[in-house]
Structures are given as structure tokens and as C-alpha cells.
Amino acid sequence: MSTSTEKAPWHGIPRGDIPWYPTIDAETCIGCQLCYVTCGRNVFEMKEAHAVAVDPMNCAVGCSTCANICPTAAISFPPLDAVWKLERERQIFRTVKKEAQRKEAREEVRKAREAAQKALEAVSTRAKVEIAGEFGEKRFLVRLEELIEGRPFDIVNLRLEVPTVKGAKQKAPSYMTFEVTSERQEDISAFLGEIKQLVHDASLVLVSDQRL
């Protein structure tokens, strides 16, 4: 058996004072390795095709998962009475109460962080807009320029796709894509609404608007 490192106390009780650890009956163990892969505390190692409890006092007090799942019932634990007796004698519930308060405080901080992160993710500072229609006489670009004039938004990566020059002359539909950005990294939702209104007023078709 390997030498255990110093264990953390269990609700104020030194771990070494608590009689809770697995014992394996080597005769009964069939070496299936289920306990070895299941235990998250590295209590077991496999030696010569049998499980060995190499760090028994690293077992979580009160846990008996490995014993419950062992197919041959080769793992046993001491009676729980000794643990219950210790809980009473050492009055661990004062410690537990303080631990619970600290846990609640940590949980509140974690939830507040998650809520702040979600709120941040909900803010869109950039969106891609795709429009179709006949742009030439509608002076759409001029109106777009007027809309952003003096405001903390910009239109970038603007592309106008005209299928053919002849087609444009014949007023065949063209496509325009651009990205709306916020210079102050603020939410652009309301401004995007104004752009949609502009598209509608110019009798163009909003093909898509995608938050980036």
C-alpha cells in the first residue's frame, strides 16, 4: 500500500480519525476493473489482475459507490454507526453551517457572473445585412449615409453585386451586403431597426440580417 499524503479534514474532523475506507476481498475480486475506473479519488489500483485499495483514506466519507456496483460484492466498508457517532461527538454541524454559508455566497457570485456573461452575449455590436432590389434610382446609398451621419455607427464591407451591366440597365434585381457596426461597442439592435425601415421605405427586400 502506498503512503497516503496528508488528507484534508472532513468538516473539521481529521480524516485519519474517521473509520471509513474500502476493504477488498481478494478471493472474491474477479479483476473487472469497474471500481478502478469508477472511483474519482484514485483509491484503487489494479495489481496482478485484482483491485487493491492503495489510498483507502482518500475515499469520500459516506460514499459506497464502488461497493454498490462491484459485481461480486468484493468491497466492504465499516458500519456507518462510527461515522454518525463522530458527527455527534465532534459537533460538526456548527462547521457545516459555516460551510453552507460560504457555499451559498460562492453560488451567488457564480450565478451573478453567469447572468452578467449572458447579458453581455445578448448584446450585438455587429450585424450583416443582405438586401435585394433595384438600387440605381432609389439613392439608397445616399440615404444610408444620411442615417449614420453624426452617429456612433458605421457601415463596413459594403458590396453591390450587379448580375450583368445590361441587366442593371434593364433594372434587373441586384444584391447589396454590408455590415453594421457600433463604434462604441454598444448594442446595435435599435439602429438595425432603423436600417430595416429604410430598406422598406426604399421598396427594397431585406433578404437577411444576421447578428455577428
Decide: 102 and 67 in contact? Cβ < 8 Å: no
Residue of 4, 72, 76, 91 interacting with ligand SF4 (CB under 6 A): 72
Report the nearest approach of ligand SF4 to the CB of residue 69 (Å).
7
Beta bridge partners of 75: 24
Nearer to ligand SF4, 20 or 191 (CB): 20
Pairing of strands 174-182, 153-161: antiparallel
Report the nearest approach of ligand SF4 to the CB of residue 96 (Å).
20
The DSSP secondary structure of 68-118, one letter per residue, reads: HH-TT--EE---THHHHHHHHHTTHHHHHHHHHHHHHHHHHHHHHHHHHHH
Is 38 one of the binding residues for ligand SF4 (CB under 6 A)?
Answer: yes
Binding segment toward ligand SF4, per CB under 6 A, in 59-67, 115-123, 140-148, 186-194 = 59-67
Is 22 one of the binding residues for ligand SF4 (CB under 6 A)?
Answer: yes
Number of residues forming the site for ligand SF4 (CB under 6 A): 25
Is 47 one of the binding residues for ligand SF4 (CB under 6 A)?
Answer: no
Is 18 one of the binding residues for ligand SF4 (CB under 6 A)?
Answer: no
Residue of 18, 35, 144, 188 interacting with ligand SF4 (CB under 6 A): 35
22: nearest Cα among 47, 9, 3, 41: 41
Q: Kindly provide the b/e burial profile for residues 128-142, where b requires at least 16 CB atoms within 10 angstroms of the residue's own CB.
A: ebbbbbbbeeeebee
Is 52 one of the binding residues for ligand SF4 (CB under 6 A)?
Answer: no
